[in-house]
Copies of this chain bind each other. A is one copy, B any other.
Amino acid sequence: MKPIKVGLLGVGTVGAGTWHVLQRNQEEIRRRAGRGIEVTMVAARNLERARRIVGEAVEVVGDPFAVVNHPEIDIVVELIGGYELARDLVLQAIANGKHVVTANKALLALHGNEIFEAAQAKGVMVAFEAAVAGGVPIIKALREGLSANRIESVAGIINGTTNFILSEMRDKGLDFATVLKQAQELGYAEADPTFDIEGVDAAHKLTIMAAIAFGIPMQFARSHIEGISQLQAVDIRYAEQLGYRIKLLGITRRTVVDGAEGIELRVHPTLIPAARLIANVEGAMNAVLVKADAVGTTLYYGKGAGAEPTASAVIADLVDVTRLATVDPYQRVPHLAFQPAELADLPILPMEEIRTAYYLRVYVQDQLGVMADLTRILAEAGISIDAVLQKEPGEKARTDIVIITHQTREKYVNAAIAKIEALSTVVAKVIRIRLESFS
């Protein structure tokens, strides 16, 4: 059987990694796929750099539409990033009847519904394993490996930059700004790190996982996003003393509120008991924890970024697409795991309605009755307390009181915090960090 022909859009880090792995493991991949997978055309902004990478035998062009419109290309691999040009290219490739492989989480989180609808209408595949958790085959696990299950929740460390920063803050007791600077020097954080540190990248990936876990459309705009830039070293230390680690988690979960089911979709710093496997995922690694009704809890761990880990996922998709290039669409795994006509319309819940536990740090003027006030306010709100950490008074007899609550609804906690902050003995805003026990 003659090789399938692939057009590569972008020869940056992941594009070059994809090229190199395809060359190095050519034999291994052909032995698996039963058919060669050949990059015959490449589009790049820097033509010289691209030629240095792919050599003379491959056509290198500056216009990515020349690839997308080329009649001999079977599969387009979109690795240019961004979501305007990428959207146009992917839609054009689909219109031309080509299959698409992409690592572009932003594109899918924002325009996935439109893209999958077009692909469905045209009977082509859009594969995106590389869009979430790099080389970890989490899309395949959620869409195929767990297809027997009613998935209950997905929670993941899905941004390596922030996990690296949090690991360093904890290990070395440093503050956020110092570690971010080091991470930038080491290449673990970009010059403009906003998308990573503010949780936007994690929210893109979480949006995709929520869609395939629950069979709902992509709803990035409805995700709740908090990053780690406001996180203080002191809270990492207190959490540690209470037996917890703080991770930036993307969490999506079915929740029943007042008898109706909805979906939580949220990215924020989260306390996790230190004994949990996912609490021990350090440095730039990724891990995704899935809870489902039949299988229980499963966890998937590995490198979430980098040239070759991401290339691993891109090429796995190429192999899958190569196998199924000509079968009837109904014989393929649906893009969003569920058949297009079978998507659910579960609403994304407002944050006020989510249920979780909380870490509250209250900075108080140490005087008789402070603790009694706090516990009374929480009790009146129906919030029960799991643990308390009270520090020795410091300057001006002020001190931190840390309270870990049991699960409750966020709106009850917010109301209680407003009352706490109104106390004359409370001298700063209450620090509130959500807590998941994963028990």
Contacts and interface: CB of A to CB of B under 8 A. Distances in A.
Interface of A: 1, 17, 21-22, 24-25, 28-34, 129, 134-137, 140-141, 144-150, 215, 277, 280-281, 292-303, 308-309, 311-316, 318-320, 323-324, 326-327, 330-334, 337-339, 342
A295 B30 CA distance: 18
B145 A129 contact: yes
A336 to B, nearest CB: 10
A339 B322 CA distance: 14
Contacts of A149: 21, 25, 28, 312
A144 to B, nearest CB: 6
A135 B296 contact: yes
Contacts of A327: 324, 327, 331
A164 to B, nearest CB: 15
B296 A31 contact: no
A295 B309 CA distance: 4
Contacts of A136: 295, 298
A170 to B, nearest CB: 14
A314 B149 CA distance: 11
B302 A301 contact: no
A320 B25 contact: no
A178 to B, nearest CB: 24
Contacts of A146: 135, 137, 312, 316
A144 B139 CA distance: 12
B303 A300 contact: no
B29 A148 contact: yes
A81 to B, nearest CB: 20
A72 B280 CA distance: 51
A33 B148 CA distance: 10
A147 B337 contact: no
A312 B294 contact: yes
Nearest to A311: B294
Contact of A316 (B1, B137, B147): B147
27 contacts: A1-B330, A25-B149, A32-B337, A34-B334, A134-B295, A137-B140, A137-B298, A140-B141, A140-B145, A141-B145, A144-B320, A148-B311, A148-B312, A148-B315, A277-B277, A280-B280, A292-B312, A293-B308, A294-B309, A294-B312, A295-B302, A295-B309, A295-B312, A297-B302, A297-B303, A323-B331, A327-B327
